[in-house]
Chain A
Amino acid sequence: MSRETRAMQDDDATGPAVLTLLDGEALWGKLGCTGCHGDAKDSMKGVAARYPALVAGKLVSLEQQVRHRNPALAYESRELLALSAYVARQSKGMPITIAGHTQSLIESGRALFHRKQGQLNLACAQCHDDNWGKKLAGTPIPQAHPTGYPIYRLEWQGMGSLTRRFRNCFTGMRAEPYAHGAPELVELELYLMWRARGMPMDAPAVRP
């Protein structure tokens, strides 16, 4: 990440994600989240650092858990991204901790990460494990540590979730992208979060 992007991310007053956080804070009250959870600054502290997690025996991502009372919130909608970003912001700086009985699900995610697919016959690992630090189309290839999602991506000119980023990669290697909320993508998200365990959360991050 360049110095300029880092400065944009660290700007708590006028960074590009500030508008989203303000929207999220307003929605938190408007949608009645306060009824059960009270003030998000206390109740949501550290929550995003634990997701994806098992909820009633099913693996769910942070976005899926955020819309548990409001299924009308569509994936990638401004509202869901704002709420998720607001929840994730409460874990800023806290280490990612993936716990619970998720080992077999992590293995499924790992399998997807290493499976070659698409017309280009590429696996995620071929870029993000074997060639990280080099450049792809002018931008550095990261090590796939999803510490900052949902992110404000400059290329998108807006907010997006990790699912959107995944689908982006799938399209790039000319594979059929999984649908939003597909269990395969949540397992992949779990595997990546497990790889990034111990790293501090910095959501909502700014990325190029």
Chain B
Amino acid sequence: MARVVVNLPAEAKKGEVIEIRTLAGHAMETGFRRTQLGELIPRDIIRSLVCTYNGVEVFRAELHPAVAANPLVTFTTVATESGTLEFRWTGDNGYSASHTASIKVV
């Protein structure tokens, strides 16, 4: 189940720096662990997170095997205009999740 949680203020002043917190439910299997029988467990991680603000990319992160399970990514951006923020996570084995949030700038 690709469950994601995004937390950001619903309203902000123009020019204000807003904090956006994103949490994605994912096991982030490193690809370095082995089963009790010694077989390698294949890697299964989220590779990237992209955030666009009214179609303009404002944040991009590449994730690597050392990142813990259920990665929490926090970043900031400047509230320029009312609109929507789109978040997209993509990863191994065709993993994909997205979330849309709206913000009102006054």
Contacts and interface: CB of A to CB of B under 8 A. Distances in A.
The answer to whether A binds B is: yes
A19 B25 contact: yes
A26 B54 CA distance: 31
Interface stretch (B37-45, B67-75, B86-94, B98-106): B67-75
Nearest to A13: B7
Interface string B1-19: 1010101000000000000
B49 interface: no
B51 interface: no
Contacts of B60: none
Interface string B55-71: 00000000000001110
A158 B69 contact: yes
A14 B28 contact: no
12 contacts: A14-B21, A14-B23, A16-B23, A16-B72, A18-B23, A19-B3, A22-B3, A157-B27, A157-B28, A157-B70, A158-B27, A158-B69
A18 B5 contact: yes
Contacts of B22: 14
Interface residues of B, number: 14
Interface residues of A, number: 10
B37 to A, nearest CB: 19
Q: Give the one of A14, A16, A18, A154 with max B CB within 10 A.
A: A14
Contacts of B3: 19, 22-23
A19 B5 contact: yes
A23 B69 contact: no
A19 B23 contact: yes
A14 B68 contact: no
B1 A14 contact: no
A20 to B, nearest CB: 9
A31 to B, nearest CB: 15
A19 B23 CA distance: 8
A13 B7 CA distance: 7
Nearest to B68: A157
A60 B81 CA distance: 55
A13 B72 CA distance: 11
A155 B55 CA distance: 39
Contacts of A18: 5, 23
A13 B21 contact: yes
Contacts of B68: 154, 157
